[in-house]
Amino acid sequence: MWSVLSPILRAKGRRWIEDAEPLGRFMAKGSIVAGCLAPHPPHLVYADNPEQNEPVSEGGWEQLRWGYERLRESLKDVDYDVIVVLSPHWQTYVGTHFIGVEKCSSKSVDPVFPNLFRFNYDLTIDVELARAIHDQAKSEGMSVKMMENPDFRVDYGTIVSCHMVRPEWDKPIVSISSNRSLSYYSVEVMQEMMMELGRSTAKAIEESGKKCVLLASNSLSHRHFVTETNPPEDMSKEHITSHAMHLWDMRMIDLMRSGKSQQIINEMPEFCDQAIAESDGGALTWLLSAMGVPSQPATLHGYGTIIGTGNAIMEWPCHTWGEQ
């Protein structure tokens, strides 16, 4: 029948078919293929000696760096388009902000450890997805803002977590701030805001058609030393700050490994208070909410201390859940 159609109809038919292909891609649902707790101590980049970082080390913190190696190996064959990261070190006080500039190039300096982290970055932002999450959160009544200053300097937490997960920097990212201040909000209020942001993130991703890896850029217990060893990578001086901090870290890891996400959220205020946890701003809560507060267990890829803080590298392999 095709052969007897007029040339005009055949040409139109081809256009209809060609136009239908991108429409089909647009209609495909996006998904979160993995969620990760990805701590951001700058010492890990310093110890790896990448060419982008100016200081040079003799190594150190191998149990965590090897943990990131295991996470990268786990993600190696996972198909995804973009990394979405929430960092407590992009700290905002009036709402949650999203980077809205496609290309960001500058030097990120850790204000606490500039001797370890002076990182020259050149990264790509998925502005389309950032705005989609922004718009969805705004429609739910959240205070949000697109940060469109081309001179904005990306925080070290965002860079460390993304670099340790994808050192090739060949994936665009969405960078989300932490609306985090105990002077303005209680821990309970911050957690509830991040629950809503997580739901908005998941909905925007689903409607985008993109496959995403989510990173909560957080340590666990966060009482760190007030002095620094010389050299910083002297592992004979590295340990958790206190036994109480160790117990809290092990409890939270055990809950993650057991798939007890709701219990983690329930205990978050107490954990933040007693372990001075960096998750007070809600990155871990945001991650769990975006994944639907999963009952599936997380995989522990590594745990270690850095200047006394507790750090766990965890993965929820969401892309496998439909296979179970």
Strands (E), the chain: 31-37, 82-92, 96-99, 103-109, 118-124, 144-147, 173-179, 211-216, 299-306, 309-316
> Is domain 29-323 given the CATH code 3.90.1150.180 in the classification?
no
- List Cβ neighbours of 65 (8 Å cut-off, separation of 6 or more): 44, 47, 48, 164
pLDDT(14) > 60: no
Please tell me the distance from the alpha carbon of residue 308 to that of residue 306, in angstroms, as a whole number: 5
Answer for the pair 212, 84: CB distance below 8 angstroms, yes or no. yes
Cα–Cα separations (whole angstroms), residue 31 to 178, 206, 318, 320: 23, 5, 9, 12
For the chain, the structural domain boundaries read 29-323
Written as one string, the DSSP assignment of 233-248 is T-GGG---S-HHHHHH
Angle between helices 187-208 and 283-290 (to 10 degrees): 40
Question: Roughly how many angstroms between the first and final C-alpha of the chain, as a whole number?
Answer: 45
For residue 181, name the pLDDT band (cuts at 50, 70, 90): confident
Q: Which of 214, 291, 206, 290 is nearest to 28 (CA)?
A: 206
The per-residue pLDDT for 27 is 55
User: Three-state SS for 119?
Assistant: strand
Answer for the pair 122, 252: CB distance below 8 angstroms, yes or no. no
- What would the pLDDT profile of 96-121 be if each residue is shown by its tens digit? 999 999 999 999 999 999 999 999 99
Neighbours of 143 (CB within 10 A): 13
- What would the pLDDT profile of 15-63 be if each residue is shown by its tens digit? 433 454 444 444 589 999 999 999 999 999 999 999 999 999 999 999 9
- pLDDT > 90: percent of the chain: 84
User: Three-state SS for 163?
Assistant: helix
**What is the SS3 assignment for 47-79?**
HHCCCCECCCCCCCCHHHHHHHHHHHHHHCCCC
CA trace torsion 111, 113, 117, 122 (10° rounding) = -20
pTM of the complete model: 0.91
The per-residue pLDDT for 297 is 98
For residue 208, name the pLDDT band (cuts at 50, 70, 90): very high
